[in-house]
Amino acid sequence: MAVSSQEHPILGSLNDAQRRAVSSNAATVAILAGPGSGKTHTLTSRVVWLIDHVGYRPEDVVVATFTVKAAREMKDRIGRALGDGREKKIVLGTFHSIARRYLAAYGRQIGLAPKFGIADDNDSRNIINRICKRLQLTLDPPAARAWISKKKAGGTEGESKSAKKLSVGLQELQKCYDEYQKQLKLSNLLDYDDLLVRCVELLRKLPSCVSNIQTVLIDEYQDTNGIQYELMKLFAQRYRRITVVGDPDQSIYGWRAAEIQNLWRLLREFPGTAEVSLEENYRSSQSILNLSLAVIQQDKNRYKKVLKPVHSKGTRPVLRRLKSSTTEADWIVSEIRRTLLLTGNMLVHSDVAILLRSAALSRHIESALGKAGIPYRMIGGFKFYDRAEIKTLLDYLRVIHQPENNDALGRIMNVPRRGIGEGTIKNLIEEAEQSSMSLWTLLWKHCRGDRAAKTRIAKHAEQRISGNLLRILNGLRKQIGEAASDKTATPFSLVDLIQQLLKALDFEKYLHDTHPDDHEQRWANVLEFVNLAADFSRELNQEGDDPLPEIEGVDQAIEAEVLPRFLANVALASDAQTGDKQEDKPLVTISTIHAAKGLEWPIVFVPAVYNGSIPHARSEDSDEERRLLYVAMTRAQCLLYLSCPSYSSSSNGERTELSSFVNPINLAFAKKGPCLDRAVLEQIAHIVRRPLPSQKAIFGSLPPMHCTEDNLFPIDPDEAQKATNTRRIGSGGCSSTDASRFKRPRLSGPGASHELGQEPEFQREYTTTMEQSSSFTFSVGFVQSGAAPARGTDAAVSSTARASAAGPSGSARPTHMATRPTGRPGASQFSAQRMNPANTVKPAMTPELAGHKLGLGKVPTRPEQRTQRTQLVKPYAVFSSSPQRPRSPQESNHPAGVEEGDENEPPGEPTQPAACLHVTTCIGLGGLGGYKKPAGLGIKRIEPMAQLTKPFKPLTMNRPR
């Protein structure tokens, strides 16, 4: 029976099923439901209910999330609901961070040396590479590493099974595993998997340390692996109270040994489990949900669930075809700017996410966003802590904390340069590992003149090691030690430590000398790192996790030092964006799909939906790849865009094939971005629960001439390309009609050669106006033929960017040209090229032709005025001062502007007022319903770009009076 919201305010925001789950008295509760159904919301509410209503002490509640970001968000939400700071006492975090806390507190009980460090991916990789070499194993090091990780992550119950499966090479793998563990131990390191494995060992050996735990709650349960399942059970070993939320359709961590079977295992091992399903999707519009379901339902073996949208239909998701990855990135930028402008800042940059199958795909997108001046942040890709200068500082700190860390010490031995070659460093590490001593000890031996050491180090290098490296490290270690033991001395803070280190290394000068081009940026990163350390220390003092509760009779080590906690925080912050302290600025998010799990955004782009990218070429599990796409699509609330470049961004620029998950349903997508008319905006406002700005506010803030439609790029890039080639053949005096035999004239200057997948760039002696029709005035918007003042528009940004890439003066080109549909791919490049004096390009229009008038066909009349002026409260046709007919309910069963049904169905009439207030009536291209089509275009709707490729009569216009 559902409990009423009067019993606790937290129940007020829940539906019946959610309420049942939150207030369930069952010891074990499993909430299995689809995306956006409020699983996390329900879990958070249950935590509040259990603490505030049932009366569990917060320190007796364990909540495990899958990412650091999710943990933070959950803590915030619980904190807001509890309202009195009790959330700080909850043992809440990722499995890894919770395990680390227990190991830091009780690890001694299982023989763990105090001050253990965490081996990050880099450390593990290096150690395994060396082992394979040293022991002359025939193993592929990455494969060996994956095997070792899987073996640990599978949990103790999976061990015998995996051993049986792998007979070939098993001995070598086992040897590698043993040696790897030995080296980690020597360096006093635990890798990520060890944190979990050792914590399981601890909780088995010392159950009393979790004897206080009343209940355990797990988010994203479908992605738990064997060892995490064991941990969950061990944390809950006393009272066996567990709540899990998950969705098998979102299981995307199979490669990390996540086991979907954990769901059935839980139901089997905890027979009284109450199962609750949540069936309403609160996140996405109906169209987004329907298409996402159409993707996941291709998997016939999935666990079927009901998922009903609560929101209205919304606009159809878009599947956009672009010529190349560069164009794809430019289109994304232009679409972001278009949508944000046309929603009148109801949506901001932080409402946009670009979700990538792999971080490597971000290159073009980052570059396009950067050039357009759109601020962004990366999640799950190249992170602040991965920057070279920051890694170096972190390695110094790691060695100061823990000198046995061979890899960290190896990496800083010659940074800044001390005249030690890479080979020597390798040999030293090798020698240390072989003789089971740390590199630190070996270096001291060297410097003390112990000639038993095998590896020779040049005298001058040896002097620098002892006089500089070891002296600095030792000096700082001593200072920390003294400050810790002498309570009366001035405390030696983390920031003091870093600042002294920077001074001792003369780090600014080092950056200046070694990175003359970007040393300022790097130094800024360093300063940011110092700020970060200051923030961390401050937060730790003010609101850091409280220590684990004291358990009678069990000794707990209290972690007083800031440095190891800071280092652990960095090592475990794999998915949280730290460092770029722009959290409060609205930033576009670029994220891997994996790291986007559990999150949502009003606007989501999923680029590169082609075979090889998604499904990924190296993935062995196509179902998991499909689930990944499903996860990506279901992050979107209002607008979803998938895109596919014709050529991949790889170095060989292969021709792509639309993703096999999307291909069967590709007709259900719109081919270009939606028309953002009032009705669409109302739906968006409703979904995101924000006030909708007035028409006046929206269009008052639009830059003049701003393009209100997604028509700056061809709908069919291949068609556009063919047409371009044909036109070139026709006008270039080539006798053959075989396009394949057409040779593109080489561009002069750098970048002259044309790569596959790049926008075509070509020049010729001169072009006629119609050949450069895209820069002529027939399309959307009125443009003078002379240079217009530069205006910040979408395409202008991208083309300006290209222009500036072409030469320093490129950015000086008038941007107006790019505000119109380009007419064919690469038009913006033409413009950029033309305006760049560095290029010896002839003008697009010869002076003789400048005065040429287009032959006039039948002059199209103004669109018929179909409604009385008095009725015109707001709608105007796009870029036209002519009024247009508002849609009557009889005419349309769905909101105006919402594209649906047949692809050939003309979209609804746009209802924005004119963005530019001149009197000209321009002829809109295809898609602007209500206009008379120019002669020659036929009755059937032709996409704007396709129009340009068909033979047609010149378009005409009413000139301004």
Ligand X SMILES: Nc1ncnc2c1ncn2[C@@H]1O[C@H](COP(=O)(O)OP(=O)(O)OP(=O)(O)O)[C@@H](O)[C@H]1O
| Residue placing its CB nearer to ligand X in the complex, 49 or 931 | 49
666 HSE (CA, 13 A, CB side) = 16
Shortest distance in whole angstroms from residue 81 CB to ligand X: 13
| Residue placing its CB nearer to ligand X in the complex, 5 or 13 | 13
Write the DSSP string, 833-845: HHH-TTS-PPPSB
Interaction of residue 15 with ligand X, rule CB under 6 A: yes
Among 11, 14, 359, 443, binds ligand X (CB under 6 A): 14
Tokens 């979209």 -> residue: 907
For residues 8 and 21, give the distance between their C-alpha atoms in angstroms, rounded to a whole number. Answer: 14
Shortest distance in whole angstroms from residue 586 CB to ligand X: 18
Shortest distance in whole angstroms from residue 631 CB to ligand X: 7
- Strand partners of residue 639: 603
Question: Cβ contacts of residue 233 below 8 Å, gap of 6+?
Answer: 242, 269
Alpha-helical regions (H) of 120-217: 121-134, 141-153, 159-165, 170-186, 192-205
Shortest distance in whole angstroms from residue 689 CB to ligand X: 9
Shortest distance in whole angstroms from residue 263 CB to ligand X: 14
Shortest distance in whole angstroms from residue 21 CB to ligand X: 11
Dihedral angle sign, alpha carbons of residues 284, 289, 291, 296: positive
Interaction of residue 282 with ligand X, rule CB under 6 A: yes
Dihedral angle sign, alpha carbons of residues 539, 542, 543, 549: positive
Dihedral angle sign, alpha carbons of residues 507, 509, 514, 517: positive
Site for ligand X, residues 584 to 603, rule: CB under 6 A: 598, 600
Known binding residue 37? Answer is: yes
612 HSE (CA, 13 A, CB side) = 16
For residues 594 and 405, give the distance between their C-alpha atoms in angstroms, rounded to a whole number. Answer: 30
| Residue placing its CB nearer to ligand X in the complex, 279 or 682 | 279
Q: How far is CA 955 from the centre of its chain?
A: 43
Q: Among the candidate windows 9-17, 460-468, 671-679, 922-930, which touches ligand X by CB under 6 A?
A: 9-17
Shortest distance in whole angstroms from residue 69 CB to ligand X: 12
| Residue placing its CB nearer to ligand X in the complex, 252 or 342 | 252
Write the DSSP string, 534-567: HHHHHHHHHHPPPPPPP-TT--------HHHHHH
Write the DSSP string, 270-335: STTPEEEEE-EE-SS-HHHHHHHHHHHTT-TTS-----EE-S---PPPEEEEESSHHHHHHHHHHH
Shortest distance in whole angstroms from residue 672 CB to ligand X: 27
| Residue placing its CB nearer to ligand X in the complex, 634 or 758 | 634
Cβ atoms 828, 817 nearer than 8 A: yes
Q: How far is CA 493 from the centre of its chain?
A: 34
Shortest distance in whole angstroms from residue 36 CB to ligand X: 4
Q: Among the candidate windows 29-37, 201-209, 224-232, 299-307, which touches ligand X by CB under 6 A?
A: 29-37
| Residue placing its CB nearer to ligand X in the complex, 185 or 305 | 305
For residues 263 and 954, give the distance between their C-alpha atoms in angstroms, rounded to a whole number. Answer: 65
Interaction of residue 687 with ligand X, rule CB under 6 A: no
Interaction of residue 350 with ligand X, rule CB under 6 A: no
CA 104 vs CA 65, 110, 116, 477, 615: distances in Å? 20, 11, 8, 20, 41
| Residue placing its CB nearer to ligand X in the complex, 179 or 220 | 220
Q: Among the candidate windows 8-16, 389-397, 845-853, 896-904, which touches ligand X by CB under 6 A?
A: 8-16
Report the DSSP pairing between strands 601-606 and 215-218: unpaired
Tokens coding 106: 């009780």
Write the DSSP string, 593-661: TGGGTT--EEEEEE---BTBTTTBTT-S-HHHHHHHHHHHHTTEEEEEEEEEESB-SSTT-PBP-B-TT
Known binding residue 12? Answer is: no
- Give the per-residue contact string, 796-815, with ligand X (x = CB under 6 A; - = no): --------------------
| Residue placing its CB nearer to ligand X in the complex, 273 or 637 | 637
Enter the DSSP assignment of 767: B
Interaction of residue 929 with ligand X, rule CB under 6 A: no
Q: Among the candidate windows 11-19, 75-83, 457-465, 863-871, which touches ligand X by CB under 6 A?
A: 11-19
Among 8, 18, 82, 898, binds ligand X (CB under 6 A): 18
For residues 635 and 593, give the distance between their C-alpha atoms in angstroms, rounded to a whole number. Answer: 9
Report the DSSP pairing between strands 352-356 and 588-592: parallel
- Give the per-residue contact string, 627-646, with ligand X (x = CB under 6 A; - = no): -------x------------
Cβ atoms 100, 568 nearer than 8 A: yes
Among 283, 349, 813, 820, binds ligand X (CB under 6 A): 283
Tokens coding 539: 């937060």
| Residue placing its CB nearer to ligand X in the complex, 71 or 127 | 71
| Residue placing its CB nearer to ligand X in the complex, 601 or 879 | 601
Shortest distance in whole angstroms from residue 31 CB to ligand X: 9
Cβ atoms 602, 639 nearer than 8 A: yes
| Residue placing its CB nearer to ligand X in the complex, 131 or 636 | 636
CA 201 vs CA 41, 108, 112, 950: distances in Å? 32, 12, 11, 72
| Residue placing its CB nearer to ligand X in the complex, 600 or 621 | 600
84 HSE (CA, 13 A, CB side) = 6
Shortest distance in whole angstroms from residue 637 CB to ligand X: 8
Dihedral angle sign, alpha carbons of residues 869, 874, 877, 881: positive
Known binding residue 38? Answer is: yes
Q: Among the candidate windows 13-21, 401-409, 573-581, 673-681, which touches ligand X by CB under 6 A?
A: 13-21
Question: Cβ contacts of residue 784 below 8 Å, gap of 6+?
Answer: 777, 816
- Strand partners of residue 189: 117
Cβ atoms 453, 445 nearer than 8 A: yes
Known binding residue 33? Answer is: yes
Shortest distance in whole angstroms from residue 220 CB to ligand X: 7
**Residue 750 zone, left/alpha/beta (φ > 0; ψ -120 to 50; rest):** beta
Point out the residue whose Cβ comes nearest to ligand X: 38
| Residue placing its CB nearer to ligand X in the complex, 307 or 712 | 307
Shortest distance in whole angstroms from residue 183 CB to ligand X: 38
Residue 863: asked if its preceding bond is cis (omega within 30°), the reply is: no
Shortest distance in whole angstroms from residue 219 CB to ligand X: 8
Residues in binding contact with ligand X, number by CB under 6 A: 19
Tokens 């300063």 -> residue: 527
Site for ligand X, residues 31 to 60, rule: CB under 6 A: 33, 35-41
Site for ligand X, residues 225 to 264, rule: CB under 6 A: 247, 250
Shortest distance in whole angstroms from residue 16 CB to ligand X: 9
| Residue placing its CB nearer to ligand X in the complex, 73 or 580 | 73
The binding site comprises 33-40
Binding site for ligand X (CB under 6 A): 13-15, 18, 33, 35-41, 247, 250, 282-283, 598, 600, 634
The binding site for ATP comprises 33-40
